[in-house]
Structure 1
Amino acid sequence: MRELWENFAGHPGENEIQQLKAYDSERDQVLKKFVLLASQVLEIPAGFVSVLDDTNQYIKASHHFGLTHSSRADSICRYVVDSQSALVIADTWQDARFVTHPFVVGAPYIRFYAGVPLNNSQGVAVGTLCLTDTEPHSFSAEKVATMTILAGLVTAFLTAWQAAGLSDPLTGLPNHRRLVRDLLFLQRAQDNATRRLIIIECLDLSRAFDLARSLGIEPVSTLLRDLATLLPLRLRLAPGDLFYVLSSGRFALLTGEKSRLCAAWVAGRLEGITADVGEGLSVSLAPHSGETLFNASEQSPEEIINEALLAMHEAIDLNVPALSFRDELNTQHKDELGLMSDLAAAIRSGEGLYLVYQPKICLQSGKPVGLEALIRWKHAVRGELLPGSFIPLAEQTSLLSSLTDWVIGESVAQLVKWKQSRFLLPVTVNVSEQDFSRDGFADALAKRLTDAGLENRLLGIECLETEKIIGSPQAIKGLQLLKAKGFSVALDDFGTGYSNINYLSKVPLDVIKLDRSLVSQIATDTAARIIAKSIITMLKELNYVVIAEGVEDAQTQLALKNYGCDQAQGFFYSRPLTSAALEAWL
């Protein structure tokens, strides 16, 4: 395969538009930070960066904005691009041009809009930086000027990004951006040959992080350089095959349909592979590969790369060496994107989302002493959804923080109602590392309770993703601030691994919750009883409040009580209940 990329002459701005449309996750992560900055500085909750071609609008980065694409005709941003000037709509309901616009009367329900063009060096608008809200706002000329300055910074970044090298600095191999540009060239050249893209993951980011933490950065760099040398040799690449580094430990191979190289063959060649980390040490790896066959004239670079990634992730999830892309994976991916769009709309409107509360019972008195708030979603089409069907997807987006804010708001409102009715038990909410790491999270939470006339002790915080918290100094600081302000901090799922012991000295905690996988075996497994008793004894000696979750029978309850466990929750006492059902249960 000969050199693929050449510069094309075209309409002014066409090259920048094509490059901005192309899939580039690293670039879009930086754009997302620009959007977040604009949102925070100008005090408008949602925003995005978009690019428009002759037929469509593509949202390349967003914050609290669920739309991912639209037709150009439906795009409000086209007014900015066409006029190459800023556009501010203080209230779309009061503007005849937009009062019946589909994005005003329907999702994402835009009531306020401010957009400024992203102009290239020739002064041609190639995209927009926009802010939106579901409520009207005034927006001064000074804010428009600030937004224009931010747009200039975005444009300067994009110019620098495009001018940057196309090689991985650590290994010298072609990088992710080079793959995107090569695929874009094939697309624009109307290449009709069927080709194959294989993505190989040898080292996932979490393991790379663990290795860096235990061995240091330099040994991991040595490992990655060794992999970049070893893989092409193992795979016996032909002169026309192109090999890329996508990220730390992740590689791509672009070849022809007739090549012997396929995901299964690659997996076989890489079986049992080890990589050197220096000083005579090596690390065993278990690579996973995903592939897609494609015609570049019919698919965008983003679609091609996504298909190979979907196949690779499916191989990882199924713990098999290799898989080929199939349409069902794409359907699943689109279904997940649709679900997240629906979730964003549900958070904005509050429709369909609700909380249930599971009682925590004192094992000595048998009386309820607290509640855990758990989110549920009654989807208009899919029906009742449990958290496991949407929380893992939300964790991959900014929606998780929005969802946390919604849960906290609903919990505080319910506590206020119960206080007025003289029925009041502390409520705990589940909070992730993303939330603890937010600047001002503890202060904002304390203010919310003060404004509601509630004591901070009435709202407990339950830590999710504890291993991520351990690796985040900002999250640890956030937890320390919460504890200092009088919020109870609990660790969830304790007992699922030996590493849990290390958490106790690093995370400021008041409460430890025993994992249900351990609790559920107490009634039937001698080893589980010994482990549970030992853990509870240790935790009590360290002055923690110990809660067992997943208690489903009297035998388990009695054992926990005898071991000195403080509280329990589970179906033996009650399923999670709506507020009305809980009041009746009490």
Structure 2
Amino acid sequence: MLINLNSDIDRRVRALNVLRHPDESRDEVLSKFVQLASQALGIPGSFISVLDDDYQHVQAAHNFALTQSTRENALCRYVVDSDSPVIVPDTRLDARFVMHPLIAGAPFIRFYAGVPLKNREGIVLGTLCVTDTAPHSFSAEQLETLTQLASLVMSFLEGWHSAGFVDPVTGLPNRQRLIRDLQYLAASPDPAPRRLILIDCIDMPRAYELARSIGIEALETLLKDVATLLPLRLRPAKSESLYTIATGRFALLTRAGSPLSAEWIAERMEGINAELGDGIYLALSTRTGETTFVCGETPAHETLRRAISALHEAIALGMPSMRFSQSSDVQSSDDGVLMNDLVAAIREDNGLWLAYQPKICLRTGQPLGLEALVRWRHPLRGELSPALFVPLAEQTELLSKLTGWVTDRAIGRLKRLRNSAIQLPITINVGSHDIAREGFASMLEDKMIRSKLPTSMLGIECMETERIIENPTAMRGLERLKLKGFNISLDDFGTGSSNIGYLRRMPLDIIKLDQSLISEISSDTASRIIARSIINMLKDLDYTVVAEGVEDANVVSALKDYGCDQAQGFFYSRPLPDEEIDKWLSWKLRDQCRSNLQPGYTGT
């Protein structure tokens, strides 16, 4: 904004607005510059000013009380208009200033010397001046010192702006700059509606994974290439501004009547590749969201939030573009409140609980293990289905905290029942992000060791299987879990066309057949043939096969005939809380419990 202003009046005006807007850290440094100017030149008063079409604004001053004047009354306008230094040794001897209000009255300027503040293109943005209430001579050496100080001030301002308002990788204005521009629009007299469009076109997890393999420079090359492609592809007008608001996420600010819309941009960016370097390209997958607003009616941060809401709606629905919707936003706000409540529930350990569903050996009819399923008794909404909060947690880092909570409670149960006849292995559901997390396998192993438990007592059921397959780091994390002795389960087998491929690539022990695959085997010939073939294949590959969602005796009988190993479902038991599953297991394993009872035995 403070550079590349040549022949661009609009951008110059916006640059002046940037300088006029208060900034504590910037103005503190400017105050030191004016103090240095007074000390170096031996002149008591000094100040830095910015001039627009109507006023002079004093940004920093030393021994100078004026903060603002009209442009007409500003001595600095002579510097700006002439684009050259102005020296007035005695204002009372200069015909231009004899009757000047700032000379005849406060602050009674008798001596004035000012030099222009120019950017690197030579555009004058303000002045650096020294003043006194007494006349002075001013040598060529003093003028050179003042000019050099002005150059240092301008270099600082350009550096300050680049650090605060420019994305260092793409060179585009950043999120802070967007907020500032929205605030300026709100204060402007222009009532024309505007449109803010957010553009998300890089699969950042995949890009980061590639960067880990071939270097961070590749990711920076990708971001720079996208920042170059966007204006070439979209061809925004001079009045339309592009921003980088987050890594891999861009914004376009335009008027509501512009042909550039979220839908048009998504179509325009379809099929585009960006370069990672060394001839490696990444296909861009563009999602856009937009909001339309009237300047001054919606706060800047709220405008950006609405655009983000529209973008996230597009991402969640798998749509190329979405416009901001109040109804969807209300639902999103409700989801946000629910996530805040979940954070509190995890932090305070209040309301969350685990239900355990047994896995049954189809040969003996005895329970062999348990699956831990998280439940939430919300203080206001009552008992909530995991379908209401787990998918929301999956979109954030909150899923890792929830996984940690589930892990600790499951291990706590195993520890409590160590050496008990009703102790069975427990399986927990784990997402791709945690499996890919550095040190996750070692962390689980350490927890089991501290609890004096073998790792084989804790099973890992893979959620988000496709994401794991697509993420080499997650695949390595899965292999580490396997090497440390954790049993690995693949959930919902049979629901997707790519399942067969998983068997070759993932280090699996247990395959869980989805309910949809086995629910019709007692009544449909095709379902029986498919289920039998899949079970036979999996057994030939030496997997343990578990059928989910078993609800009637006929299905159980068929699964036994097909060679399925285990089953779980309401036919055997619904998921039960800790105390109830203890009682259920004590009943199912009563013969073993009797044989293990010794005098003084407490089961702990």
> Is contact 2:198–2:288 with CA below 8 Å preserved after alignment?
yes
Deviations 1:249-292 (A, max 9, x none): 8653321234354445666xx289543689xxx99998654221
Q: Which amino acid aligns with 2:24?
A: P
Partner of 1:470: 469
Superposed counterparts of 1:255-404, under 5 Å? 255-263=254-262, 270=267, 273-275=270-272, 288-295=287-294, 297=296, 299-318=298-317, 322-404=321-403
Residue 10 of structure 1 pairs with residue 22 of structure 2: yes
Q: Which amino acid aligns with 1:536?
A: I
Partner of 1:428: 427
- Deviation of 1:391 after TM superposition, in Å, equals 1.6
Counterparts of 2:417 and 2:489, CA distance in 1 = 23
SS at match of 1:390: helix
Is the alpha carbon distance of 1:325 and 1:451 closer, same or farther for their aligned partners in structure 2, counting shifts above 3 Å? same
- Deviation of 1:373 after TM superposition, in Å, equals 0.5
Counterparts of 1:512 and 1:427, CA distance in 2 = 16
Partner of 2:163: 163
Counterparts of 1:561 and 1:247, CA distance in 2 = 55
Counterparts of 1:177 and 1:523, CA distance in 2 = 63
Is the alpha carbon distance of 1:455 and 1:271 closer, same or farther for their aligned partners in structure 2, counting shifts above 3 Å? same
- Deviation of 1:311 after TM superposition, in Å, equals 1.7
Residue 582 of structure 1 pairs with residue 581 of structure 2: yes
Counterparts of 1:7 and 1:529, CA distance in 2 = 75
Choose 358-367 or 181-190, whichever is displaced more.
181-190
Q: Which amino acid aligns with 1:574?
A: S
Residue 197 of structure 1 pairs with residue 196 of structure 2: yes
- Deviation of 1:379 after TM superposition, in Å, equals 0.3
Is the alpha carbon distance of 1:387 and 1:560 closer, same or farther for their aligned partners in structure 2, counting shifts above 3 Å? same
Counterparts of 1:205 and 1:449, CA distance in 2 = 34
- Deviation of 1:217 after TM superposition, in Å, equals 12
Superposed counterparts of 1:47-62, under 5 Å? none
Q: Which amino acid aligns with 2:272?
A: A
Is the alpha carbon distance of 1:239 and 1:517 closer, same or farther for their aligned partners in structure 2, counting shifts above 3 Å? farther
Larger radius of gyration: 2
Deviations 1:105-159 (A, max 9, x none): xxxxxxxxxxxxxxxxxxxxxxxxxxxxxxxxxxxxxxxxxxxxxxxxxxxxxx9
SS at match of 1:504: helix
> Is contact 2:353–2:374 with CA below 8 Å preserved after alignment?
yes
SS at match of 1:481: helix
Deviations 1:185-218 (A, max 9, x none): 54576976531112345665578799999xx999
Counterparts of 1:349 and 1:436, CA distance in 2 = 25
> Is contact 2:517–2:527 with CA below 8 Å preserved after alignment?
yes
Superposed counterparts of 1:169-180, under 5 Å? 179-180=178-179
SS at match of 1:7: helix
Choose 319-328 or 511-520, whichever is displaced more.
319-328
Is the alpha carbon distance of 1:226 and 1:362 closer, same or farther for their aligned partners in structure 2, counting shifts above 3 Å? same
> Is contact 1:219–1:277 with CA below 8 Å preserved after alignment?
no
Choose 371-380 or 426-435, whichever is displaced more.
426-435
- Deviation of 1:558 after TM superposition, in Å, equals 3.0
Is the alpha carbon distance of 1:10 and 1:164 closer, same or farther for their aligned partners in structure 2, counting shifts above 3 Å? closer
Deviations 1:427-484 (A, max 9, x none): 1111223333444433333333333343332221212223333344544444333333
Instruction: List runs of 5+ in structure 2 lacking aligned partners.
Output: 1-8, 29-158, 276-280, 589-604
SS at match of 2:461: strand
Counterparts of 1:530 and 1:221, CA distance in 2 = 53
Is the alpha carbon distance of 1:415 and 1:309 closer, same or farther for their aligned partners in structure 2, counting shifts above 3 Å? same
Choose 240-249 or 282-291, whichever is displaced more.
282-291
Equivalent pairs, count: 441
Deviations 1:353-403 (A, max 9, x none): 111011111122222111100000000011111222112222233322222
Partner of 1:62: none
Counterparts of 1:489 and 1:397, CA distance in 2 = 24
Counterparts of 1:538 and 1:564, CA distance in 2 = 11
- Deviation of 1:331 after TM superposition, in Å, equals 2.7
Deviations 1:512-538 (A, max 9, x none): 222333334545655544443333223
Give the aligned CA root-mean-square deviation in angstroms: 4.4
Partner of 1:154: none
> Is contact 1:360–1:369 with CA below 8 Å preserved after alignment?
yes
TM-score, with normalisation over the residues of structure 2?
Answer: 0.61
Counterparts of 1:551 and 1:578, CA distance in 2 = 20
Deviations 1:54-81 (A, max 9, x none): xxxxxxxxxxxxxxxxxxxxxxxxxxxx
- Deviation of 1:550 after TM superposition, in Å, equals 2.0
Choose 292-301 or 567-576, whichever is displaced more.
292-301
TM-score, with normalisation over the residues of structure 1?
Answer: 0.62
> Is contact 1:274–1:283 with CA below 8 Å preserved after alignment?
no
SS at match of 2:507: coil
Counterparts of 1:503 and 1:161, CA distance in 2 = 51
Counterparts of 1:183 and 1:363, CA distance in 2 = 65
Partner of 1:100: none
Partner of 1:480: 479
Q: Which amino acid aligns with 1:182?
A: D
Is the alpha carbon distance of 1:359 and 1:191 closer, same or farther for their aligned partners in structure 2, counting shifts above 3 Å? farther
> Is contact 1:464–1:492 with CA below 8 Å preserved after alignment?
yes
SS at match of 2:359: strand
- Deviation of 1:298 after TM superposition, in Å, equals 5.2
Partner of 2:570: 571
Counterparts of 1:201 and 1:210, CA distance in 2 = 18
Residue 441 of structure 1 pairs with residue 422 of structure 2: no
Partner of 1:26: none
Partner of 1:458: 457
Q: Percent identity?
A: 50
Counterparts of 2:254 and 2:472, CA distance in 1 = 43
Counterparts of 2:161 and 2:563, CA distance in 1 = 60
Choose 454-463 or 555-564, whichever is displaced more.
555-564
SS at match of 1:434: helix
Counterparts of 1:201 and 1:523, CA distance in 2 = 48
Is the alpha carbon distance of 1:255 and 1:429 closer, same or farther for their aligned partners in structure 2, counting shifts above 3 Å? same
SS at match of 2:306: helix
Is the alpha carbon distance of 1:8 and 1:557 closer, same or farther for their aligned partners in structure 2, counting shifts above 3 Å? farther
Q: Which amino acid aligns with 1:10?
A: P
> Is contact 1:427–1:459 with CA below 8 Å preserved after alignment?
yes
Is the alpha carbon distance of 1:446 and 1:289 closer, same or farther for their aligned partners in structure 2, counting shifts above 3 Å? closer
> Is contact 1:496–1:518 with CA below 8 Å preserved after alignment?
yes
Counterparts of 1:317 and 1:508, CA distance in 2 = 30
Choose 477-486 or 524-533, whichever is displaced more.
524-533
Counterparts of 1:313 and 1:508, CA distance in 2 = 34
Counterparts of 2:236 and 2:226, CA distance in 1 = 15
- Deviation of 1:9 after TM superposition, in Å, equals 4.9
Partner of 1:543: 542
SS at match of 2:542: coil
Is the alpha carbon distance of 1:374 and 1:250 closer, same or farther for their aligned partners in structure 2, counting shifts above 3 Å? same
